[in-house]
Amino acid sequence: MKLNIRFGQKLRALFESPALFGVKRDTEQLFGEIEELLIGSDFGFEFTTEILAALRKGSSPSEKEPLTRRLKEILKGRMALAKQPPAGNGLSVYLVFGINGSGKTTSVGKLAHKLKRTGRKVLVAAADTYRDAAIDQLLIWAKRAEVPVVRQQQGSDPAAVVYDACESAAGRGVDDLLIDTAGRLHTKEALMEELAKIGRILDKKLPDAPKVKLLTLDATTGQNALSQARLFNEYIGVDGIILTKLDSSSKGGIACVVSGRMGIPILYMGVGEKIEDLEDFDADEYLDLLFS
């Protein structure tokens, strides 16, 4: 996996530029270039300002490696720890949501495959009953993952699908129930309230089951991902993030911003189109890729 903006290459180029490091080393110009690089890599103005303030306190601007190492330390220190959800002996529920086009249904299929590979019994609920062909898309991914699906007709009540899925999961002795919800436009309060309703049904039907609320965020959307995370967190709460499309089209910095600003761990990252292309998120690996 490679990130689109070669952050590390551009950072190294700053130290090799004769315009910056000739007879006189222009510290302020260097930090200005780093600021431009961070903003251009989707870190955002406010987050970049914080990072630079911390960087100025303990780094030598004349030496590349100490500065790079310090920058990575600062970024990691501001990200929420990417801990994996506990997989207990009983039923666990994963409620997956996000706006249309964020890779939500694809991520459900990949996560089902990932969990099943560990020997767990997985069931998927097709609660995206609004979007055309959404159920068919989920059936394709579920078939690839070799897991069963609870579904109703397109246009039916998503909450009814979730209700049936809860009963089916309890009756089948399922380890993990994954719920694919409709793509929610984060500006539409009625749709967000429907998602909250699903959450209440889960609490009522499966009160003892651990519930993990996962938000899919498209890494290519830039700073808009932060506003999405804030609004979803306000309506239903977000326990973890699946960062999708973290490949050649992604600038990469938004992961640090969302996790740092929201205090929400990134649990998984989508790195390709294959069913096995969902990896556990590791901050060190992510920063190594960003700085490579």
- Provide φ and ψ at 259, rounded to 5°: -65, -40
Do 142 and 60 share a domain, yes or no? no
Stronger pLDDT, 291 or 219, i.e. the higher one: 219
Do 55 and 122 share a domain, yes or no? no
Do 195 and 256 share a domain, yes or no? yes
Strands in 92-97's sheet, in edge-to-edge order, are 149-150, 122-127, 176-181, 92-97, 211-218, 240-244, 266-270, 278-280
Alpha carbon distance 265, 241 (integer Å)? 6
Do 63 and 173 share a domain, yes or no? no
- Structural domain ending residue among the three candidates 78, 101, 134: 78
216 strand-pairing partners: 242
Q: What pLDDT is recorded for position 82?
A: 61
Number of independent structural domains in the chain: 2
Average the pLDDT over 138-151 and give the result.
96
Do 131 and 21 share a domain, yes or no? no
What are the Cα distances from residue 23, in Å, to 14, 17, 19, 20, 30? 15, 12, 10, 9, 14
Do 72 and 164 share a domain, yes or no? no
Q: Is 117 within a domain?
A: yes
Q: Are 96 and 181 within 8 A, CB to CB? A: yes
CATH number of the domain that residue 165 is part of: 3.40.50.300
Q: Is 221 within a domain?
A: yes
Nearest Cα to 183, choosing from 239, 149, 151, 228?
228
Q: Are 150 and 165 within 8 A, CB to CB? A: yes
SS3 label, residue 266: strand
Give the E-state strand segments of 38-187 in sequence order. 92-97, 122-127, 149-150, 176-181
Q: Are 75 and 34 within 8 A, CB to CB? A: no
Q: What pLDDT is recorded for position 248?
A: 57
- Provide φ and ψ at 256, rounded to 5°: -65, -40
Q: How confident is the model at residue 63 (pLDDT cuts 50, 70, 90)?
A: low
Distance of CA 288 to the CA centre of its chain: 18
- Is the backbone of residue 222 left (phi > 0), alpha (psi -120 to 50) or beta? left
Q: Are 179 and 198 within 8 A, CB to CB? A: yes
The continuous run of DSSP H or E covering 66 comes out as: helix 64-78
Alpha carbon distance 265, 255 (integer Å)? 10
Q: Is 99 within a domain?
A: yes
Torsion over CA: 240, 49, 228, 200 (sign)? positive
SS3 label, residue 254: helix
Give percent above pLDDT 90 in the chain. 36
Q: Residue 71 belongs to what domain range?
A: 7-78
Q: What is the pLDDT of residues 249-268, one digit of tens each?
A: 666 788 888 888 889 999 99
Alpha carbon distance 259, 179 (integer Å)? 23
Q: Which residue has the tokens 């699946």?
A: 242
Q: What pLDDT is recorded for position 32?
A: 84
Do 64 and 133 share a domain, yes or no? no
Stronger pLDDT, 23 or 253, i.e. the higher one: 253
Q: CA torsion angle for 143, 148, 150, 154 (degrees, to 10)? A: 10
Q: At a CB cut-off of 8 Å and minimum separation 6, what does 88 contact? A: 210
Q: What is the pLDDT of residues 171-213, one digit of tens each?
A: 999 999 999 998 766 556 777 778 888 989 999 999 999 999 9
Do 100 and 74 share a domain, yes or no? no
Q: What pLDDT is recorded for position 240?
A: 93
Q: Is 83 within a domain?
A: no
Alpha carbon distance 3, 253 (integer Å)? 10
